[in-house]
Structure 1
Amino acid sequence: MPMDSRTKIIFNPCENKENQYIAILVNGLEMHGYGVSRLDDFLSSKKHYQSIKLLHLNWFENLDDSSSSSMWKSYFRKLVVLAAVKFGKKKLVWTMHNRLSHEKKSGKLSRALAQKIVSRADAIVIHSEVSRDILHSQYPKIRAKIVHIPHPDFVDVYGAMLPESSEQRAPQLKLLFVGAIKPYKNIELLIEVAKRFPKEVHLTIAGNPNSEAYRSELQNLAQNAANISLELKFIPDAELPSYIHQSDLLILPYSLESSLNSGTVILGFSYGRTVICPRIGTIDDLDGGEDVFDYSYTSESEHLEALDTQIQKVITLHQHNPDSLIEKGYKMRELVLKKNNKQVVTDGLIKLYEGLL
């Protein structure tokens, strides 16, 4: 059916200052004629509640685990939303972003909430094929609900990509970790492995820690390492292209236990840099072959050695040909432009909504 400006939906969250993923999708939906509202306003009035045709929830299974009371309050508020969706016969779409919640304290409750979301959802959006197998193993009867729509590319979203210098790149390998600094991202492991290469590698860790205690912990770990720069602050969008440009590649040692997809991996590729990263769903789907430095592990000690091996491999390549890593990054940029094209992703979402409404 043709969409017009009267088609009211909720896309939650409808803005996220730390991630342009939301803006890409919401802007695309609004340009197509959808009226996108906030979840906070869902029950603000009877008229507004009745006007909403569809809700699309992202990270809805995550709970506020700052305290036990906050966690339970968050859980029950979300149950009320799900009850209101069912009572009003609203269409419900959920995007599965992670294998399981990254928050340790609320994991059990988050999983219970995820089960309720899955049972209520009319469609479940996945960003990587491995998600289909995970969902099907947990909920064998929901295969028909699953829709694979790739994660959108970030090409030019944070500003134009900076031109490469004609000067020869420095012999010291420049590694970059960028993004929110949280324990599940294995930053401690990264610092430990970077210390093994004091002359060959310079590591920059850029992003805002999720607590002051974690900030102090990382500063203590890195304090005697001259080859590690900690920029533990929020990195404005406009500065991201420069940070990426100054690196030879990104290093993102995520947890295989909880991570499925990574917007930062897509960000790196979008700005012409390849990555060292575990073989999560994002890496698997793109299938970049030798242009990506992916690995697997089954324990923390194995993870450390796998990282070490990949860094040594990258150092050798960089020393042999300083431009080789940049060439790989540019090939990955072309790949995400094809496989994760923003317009194709938005069109996929619109087609899904139209099929439900």
Structure 2
Amino acid sequence: MGSPIKIIFNPCENKENKYIAILVNGLEKHGFEVNRLDDFLSSTSHYKSIRLLHLNWFENLDDSSVKSMWTSYFRKLIVLAAIKLGNKKLVWTMHNRLSHEKKSGKLSRALTKKLVAQADAIVIHSAISKNILRSQFPNLKSKIVHIPHPDFIDVYGQMIPERSEKRPSKLKLLFIGAIKPYKNIELLIQIAGRFSEEIHLTIAGNPNSEAYRTELEKLAQGANNITLELKFIPDSELPTYIHQSDVLILPYSQESSLNSGTVILGFSYGRTVICPRIGTIDDLDGGEDVFDYSYENESEHLAALEKQIQSAINLHLEDSNSLTEKGHRMRDLVLEKNNKQVVTDKLIELYQSFLD
């Protein structure tokens, strides 16, 4: 490529998610010089050298206080104005239907509207995102580009080989990931009580606040079939956690959730999932190899989740290896449909269409 093309990929690192590392490493191997958004306006010469900015989760605001929320909003408006003034190319990835942060919802939607209007390309990770965007922004022109979420195969270490022995009769369910209210952890704890003899539920991840940690500990108190590991799970331990489970259970909010890296993570390490039919599930179309469901309200969610847990229990009792076989077929599917090399190549192709 000759001299490196300077771009900004934001965020350019994320300790909780290898999604960023996969894409940034792929871009750097191809010869792009990836810079931080924080340095965008550090000097006139640096500002002029940046040719393209790719923003992820840019519509999310710091809602820890009213002041920080408005400060975050205005800082992002300044960034967008600087991008426009400098005639930089702008790519935005749509990760969610809505911001998960309830307090900043209106400002977040206003920021999303500006992003959609200004972006040269909008990257989506699931086909349904196109319909959502066009329903929200009827005048949106054809700048939507579908690039799948990259797989996580071997990214957190090798998959642990399966043993052929019969698994324990109790179904082992795992929720893993950042512990946030929109992920319906309370619902999981509630439903685990209905299957005290049939399942063991492990909830592993770091809560977003000490208050939320305390709330979950109180809810789970006295439940002998729930293990709470409310802490940051190191990357190196993820394959072990997944291997020790039969199924990942991820009862996300259909109102805001659209794509899920944790779903891709589970499949990448040979485990199927119990999860609402969000965009990630829809695109992979794993059929009976996935325990997906839909719901309209909280009571429907509880009933649908209970039904899929029971289905998983029944299969586990009939043949303790059947769930593992489903997970391995889903691993093959993400390797085909979400191949990280193909995903990176498509992103580079998009950038080059603007920069050549």
Q: How many angstroms apart in 1 are the aligned matches of 2:102 and 2:144?
A: 27
Which residue is equivalent to 1:103?
Answer: 101
Please report how far the alpha carbon of residue 320 of structure 1 lies from its aligned counterpart in structure 2 after TM superposition.
Answer: 0.2
Residues in 2 aligned to 1:134 and 1:143: alpha-carbon distance in whole angstroms: 14
Q: Pick the aligned partner of 1:34 from 32, 39, 42.
A: 32
- Residue 110 of structure 2 corresponds to 112
Which residue, 320, 325, 328 being the options, matches 1:327?
325
1:5–1:35 contact (8 Å) kept in structure 2: no
Which residue among 56, 59, 62 is the counterpart of 2:57? 59
Unaligned runs of 5+ in 1: none
8 Å Cα contact 1:101-1:107 kept in structure 2: yes
| Residue identity in the other structure for 1:213 | A
Task: Please tell me whether residue 268 in structure 1 is matched to residue 266 in structure 2.
Answer: yes
- Which residue is 1:141 aligned to? 139
d(CA) in 2 for partners of 1:51 and 1:201? Answer: 56
d(CA) in 2 for partners of 1:308, 1:227 = 16
Per-residue deviation, 1:138:
1.2
Q: CA deviation at 1:6?
A: 2.3
CA distance in 2 between counterparts of 1:51 and 1:152 reads 29
2:16 matched residue in structure 1: 18
- Find the aligned partners of 2:259 and 2:19 in 1 and give their Cα distance: 12
TM-score by length of 1: 0.99
Question: Equivalent of 1:255, from 238, 253, 264?
Answer: 253
Quote the offset at 1:139 in angstroms.
Answer: 1.3
Residue 122 of structure 1 corresponds to which residue in structure 2? 120
- 1:166 shift after superposition: 2.7
Residue deviations 1:213-254 (CA, integer Å, cap 9, x gap): 100110001011000000000000000000000000100000
> Offset of 1:321 from its aligned partner?
0.3
1:4, 1:34 within 8 Å by CA — same for their partners in 2? no
Counterpart residue identity of residue 32, structure 2: Y
So what's the TM-score if we normalise by structure 2?
Answer: 0.99
* Contact 1:43–1:49 (Cα < 8 Å) also in 2: yes
1:228 maps to what in 2? 226
In the TM superposition, 1:1-357 aligns within 5 A as: 3-357=1-355
Distance 1:271 1:143 in 2: 38
Does the CA contact (< 8 Å) of 1:273 and 1:329 recur in 2? Answer: yes
Q: Distance in 2 between matches of 1:70 and 1:5?
A: 39
**Aligned partners of 1:16 and 1:23 also within 8 Å:** yes
User: What amino acid is the match of 1:354?
Assistant: Q
Counterpart secondary structure, 1:196:
helix
Q: Tell me the matched-pair count.
A: 355
Q: CA deviation at 1:143?
A: 3.9
1:290 aligned partner, one-letter code: E
Contact 1:8 1:37 in 2 (8 A): yes
* C-alpha contact (below 8 Å) 1:149/1:349 kept by paired residues: yes
C-alpha offsets along residues 24-62 of structure 1, whole Å, 9 cap, x if unaligned? 000000000000000000000111000000000000000
Contact 1:275 1:292 in 2 (8 A): yes
Whether the aligned pair in 2 keeps the contact of 1:177 and 1:250 (CA below 8 Å) is yes
Secondary structure at the residue paired with 2:90?
Answer: strand
CA distance in 2 between partners of 1:198 and 1:260 (Å) = 31
Q: CA deviation at 1:141?
A: 2.6
CA–CA distance in structure 2, aligned partners of residues 281 and 243 of structure 1: 25
Tell me, in whole angstroms, the C-alpha distance in 1 between the residues paired with 2:196 and 2:276.
Answer: 23
C-alpha separation in 1, matches of 2:226 and 2:238: 19
- What amino acid does structure 2 have at the position aligned with 1:323? N
- Describe the SS at the equivalent of 1:226: coil
Tell me the amino acid that sits aligned with residue 71 of structure 2: K
Cα distance 1:227–1:9, how it changes in 2: closer, same or farther (>3 A)?
A: same
* Distance in 1 between residues matched to 2:207 and 2:131, nearest whole Å: 33
Q: What's the secondary structure of 1:202's corresponding residue?
A: strand
Identity of aligned residues (%): 77
